[in-house]
């Protein structure tokens, strides 16, 4: 697939000033200034984040109300229900808040809605459960800010809500006793991009502060916070960077037995990174809600005994294996549908439907289809008497807005810029497909239909060594707003030793001047003819460490390659 390369600009004066202050690689200084690190103090905060830099939880609107209401529940011996969504952010939020409150007060329980029986967020069934079991306070995590009617219903039943959420609020807010969400227009909290578990963490921090408890009473859950930050793909800057940094430290040194069990099942040997959390831990947690019941994920995280945790982790592991098989077969079938129609050439959107597809994996399948056909994609499946689907967008295109224009064909929809869910009647599928294609075609730009490779800096092979790599590793944790640096080197040659391995990948051996560097290009076998032409090529890559027979060397992890111009 053709890709467009976008080399980020930099301010030379800022780079020179930072280079003078830090005396490290000028290339690193370019990347740091692009990320807002422009002087020694900012560099110190960036490379050595401190927990003392976390913002005061009391800056968040309604925090005083939330803490007061929880204290009132303690004093009145009320029953508190901790309620959260069925994904990683929701289950880690519930596990941490439930354990924290339970350590202070006995009358606490938790509730996770069933993905297929109740749907996303606060459910009527969950509120009815609370009423039937005499709960008078619900603390909702990673959901609730849009549940105006349901929280109103709870209020009629004399059940109060404290909402801890990070989704964008609507104009009308639910009648909760407190809403903790930095994205509220009148909230002065300085960082707006906490995940749901992060918002819950701030509430725990405030309760601990009010009660003058040691910081370890809430810091012990940083491994769960880091897992949520990774899985929810929130920006890893400001407060999230600090939480992720110390959360990863805890994951690697002293994680909860649930995470330890998942790591053991996944045969993790290396130091855990944000990427490991995204690709090793998160899928196994999400699989619980996709294939069965997400309560298992909470049971895993609150387990105190390793054997107990391992038993639950094995169930999640099986769910994840089932999920992989299901999404693999559905993806293959969906690709076949697209390839056997003329839509692959003519359309700017993809909408595919089969009655028998598993609704729990349609979002994953949508993401997979975008890897082959780079355009806004919706995958639909039968769900009871109606059709349910999940959509994914390409960067820069507002999927939610496009679906909104098709709302006359839908029973309901929700989501955000990059991802959305929707329901409709089966007889409306064809009308929706036409309307969605019209909406996408009228709004999307030609550039948005070509994958973009963002490149941080141009570099020569002579600059690449272990010292440079060691500085790069100190820029972790990597993630949105602080991605692993991507480099470009121009006019390099195939040394003659590049080759295809396992039919799909290229083992690169590239030469620039007197320096030869090796690398790997996963799934890039189709680019091999460019190397066989024995002409100069431009290569885009990240840097990785290769260890062989006790020797460490820096290798290239290829992203793209093109013939050099001129």
| CATH number of the domain residue 98 falls in | 3.90.1640.30
411 assigned to some structural domain: yes
> Do 458 and 157 touch, CB atoms closer than 8 A?
no
Q: What angle do CA 75, 182, 138 make, to 5 degrees?
A: 35
Torsion of the alpha carbons at 250, 254, 259 and 260, rounded to the nearest 10: 140
Cα 498 from Cα 539, distance rounded (Å): 14
**Residues in the chain with pLDDT values less than 70:** 344
Residue-level pLDDT at 344: 67
Residue ending a domain, choose from 395, 421, 449: 449
Q: Is 121 left (phi over 0), alpha (psi -120 to 50) or beta?
A: left
Indicate whether this model's pTM tops 0.85: yes
Q: How many CB atoms lie within 10 A of CB 39?
A: 14
Same domain, 276 and 147: yes
DSSP-assigned letter for residue 131 = H
CATH code of 555's domain: 2.40.50.460
Q: Is 469 in the same domain as 357?
A: no
CA 435 from centroid of its chain's CA atoms: 30
Whether residues 121 and 263 share a domain: the answer is yes
Q: Are residues 412 and 302 in the same domain?
A: no
Overall domain count for the chain: 3
Q: Which CATH number belongs to the domain containing residue 418 in this structure?
A: 3.10.310.30
Both tokens of 547, joined, read: 């260890």
Asked if 191 and 301 sit in the same domain, the reply is: yes
Which of these three, 449, 465, 494, is where a domain ends?
449
> Cβ(558)–Cβ(512) under 8 Å?
no
Spatial distance between the Cα atoms of 527 and 494, rounded to a whole number of angstroms: 12
Tell me: cis bond preceding 83? Omega within 30 of 0 counts.
no
Q: Could you tell me if 42 and 95 lie in one domain? A: no
User: In a 3-state reduction of DSSP, which class is residue 226?
Assistant: helix
Q: Are 273 and 393 in a shared domain?
A: no
Are residues 401 and 531 located together in one domain of the fold? no
Task: Tell me whether residue 324 is in a domain.
Answer: no
**pLDDT value of position 116:** 76
- In this prediction, residue 287 carries a pLDDT of 84
| Element of type H or E holding 566 | none
Residues 6+ apart with CB under 8 A from 271: 252
Sort 400 into a burial class: Cβ within 10 Å, 0-12 / 13-18 / 19+: middle
Question: How many Å apart are CA 517 and CA 197, to the nearest integer?
Answer: 42
State the residue range of the domain holding 548.
4-48+453-563
**Separation between Cα atoms, residue 308 and residue 522, nearest integer Å:** 38
**Domain final residue, candidates 416, 449, 482:** 449
Q: Do 144 and 129 lie in a common domain?
A: yes
Number of H helices, E strands in the chain: 22, 19
Instruction: Specify whether 198 is located in the same domain as 309.
Output: yes
Q: How far apart are CA 285 and CA 290, in angstroms?
A: 9
Closest CA to 142 of 54, 229, 262, 245: 229
Residue 293 lies in a domain: yes
Same domain, 277 and 409: no
Domain-embedded: residue 223: yes
The predicted-structure confidence for 13-27, as pLDDT tens digits, reads as follows 999 999 999 989 999
* pLDDT for 269: 82
Write down the residue that tokens 């807010």 correspond to. Answer: 173
Cβ–Cβ < 8 Å for 551, 503: no
Q: Are 133 and 150 contained in the same domain?
A: yes
Q: Domain for residue 406, yes or no?
A: yes
In a domain, 378, yes or no: yes
What pLDDT, on the 0 to 100 scale, is given for residue 427?
A: 95
For residues 281 and 114, give the distance between their C-alpha atoms in angstroms, rounded to a whole number: 21
Q: Within a domain: residue 328? A: no
Q: Does residue 335 sit within a domain?
A: no
């Amino acid at each position: 697939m053709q890709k467009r390369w976008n080399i980020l600009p930099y301010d030379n004066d800022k780079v020179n000033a930072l280079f003078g202050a830090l005396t490290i690689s000028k290339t690193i200084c370019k990347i740091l200034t692009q990320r807002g690190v422009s002087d020694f103090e900012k560099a110190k905060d960036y490379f050595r984040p401190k927990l003392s830099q976390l913002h005061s939880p009391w800056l968040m609107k309604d925090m005083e109300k939330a803490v007061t209401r929880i204290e009132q529940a303690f004093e009145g011996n009320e029953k508190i229900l901790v309620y959260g969504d069925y994904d990683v952010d929701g289950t880690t939020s519930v596990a941490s808040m439930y354990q924290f409150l339970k350590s202070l007060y006995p009358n606490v329980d938790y509730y996770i809605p069933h993905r297929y029986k109740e749907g996303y967020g606060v459910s009527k069934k969950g509120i009815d459960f609370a009423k039937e079991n005499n709960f008078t306070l619900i603390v909702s995590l990673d959901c609730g800010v849009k549940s105006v009617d349901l929280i109103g219903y709870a209020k009629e039943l004399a059940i109060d809500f404290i909402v801890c959420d990070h989704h964008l609020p609507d104009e009308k807010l639910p009648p909760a006793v407190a809403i903790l969400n930095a994205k509220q227009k009148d909230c002065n909290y300085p960082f707006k991009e906490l995940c749901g578990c992060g918002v819950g963490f701030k509430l725990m921090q405030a309760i601990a502060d009010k009660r003058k408890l040691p910081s370890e009473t809430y810091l012990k859950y940083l491994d769960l916070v880091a897992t949520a930050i990774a899985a929810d793909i929130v920006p890893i800057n400001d407060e999230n960077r600090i939480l992720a940094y110390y959360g990863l430290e805890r994951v690697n040194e002293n994680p909860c037995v649930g995470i330890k069990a998942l790591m053991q099942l996944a045969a993790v040997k290396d130091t855990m990174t944000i990427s490991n959390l995204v690709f090793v831990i998160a899928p196994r947690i999400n699989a619980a809600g996709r294939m069965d019941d997400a309560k298992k994920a909470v049971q895993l995280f609150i387990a105190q005994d390793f054997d107990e945790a391992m038993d639950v982790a094995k169930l999640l592991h099986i769910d994840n294996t089932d999920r992989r098989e299901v999404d693999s077969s559905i993806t293959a079938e969906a690709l076949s549908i697209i390839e056997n129609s003329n839509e692959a050439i003519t359309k700017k959107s993809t909408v595919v439907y089969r009655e028998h597809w598993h609704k729990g994996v349609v979002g994953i399948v949508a993401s997979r289809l975008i890897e082959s056909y780079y355009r806004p994609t919706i995958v639909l499946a039968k769900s009871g008497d109606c059709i349910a689907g999940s959509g994914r967008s390409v960067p820069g295109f507002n999927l939610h807005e496009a679906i909104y224009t098709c709302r006359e064909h839908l029973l309901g929809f929700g989501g955000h810029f990059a991802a959305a869910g929707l329901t409709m009647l089966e007889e409306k599928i064809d009308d929706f497909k036409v309307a969605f294609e019209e909406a996408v075609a009228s709004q999307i730009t030609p550039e948005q239909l070509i994958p973009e490779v963002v490149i941080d800096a141009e570099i020569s092979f002579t600059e690449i060594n272990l010292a440079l790599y060691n500085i790069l590793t100190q820029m972790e944790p990597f993630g949105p707003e602080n991605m692993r640096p991507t480099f470009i080197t121009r006019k390099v040659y195939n040394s003659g030793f590049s080759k295809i391995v396992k039919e799909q990948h290229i083992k690169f051996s590239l030469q620039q001047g007197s320096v030869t560097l090796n690398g790997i290009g996963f799934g890039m076998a189709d680019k091999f003819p460019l190397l066989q032409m024995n002409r100069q090529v431009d290569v885009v890559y990240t840097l990785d460490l290769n260890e062989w027979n006790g020797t460490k060397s820096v290798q290239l992890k290829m992203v793209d390659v093109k013939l050099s111009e001129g």
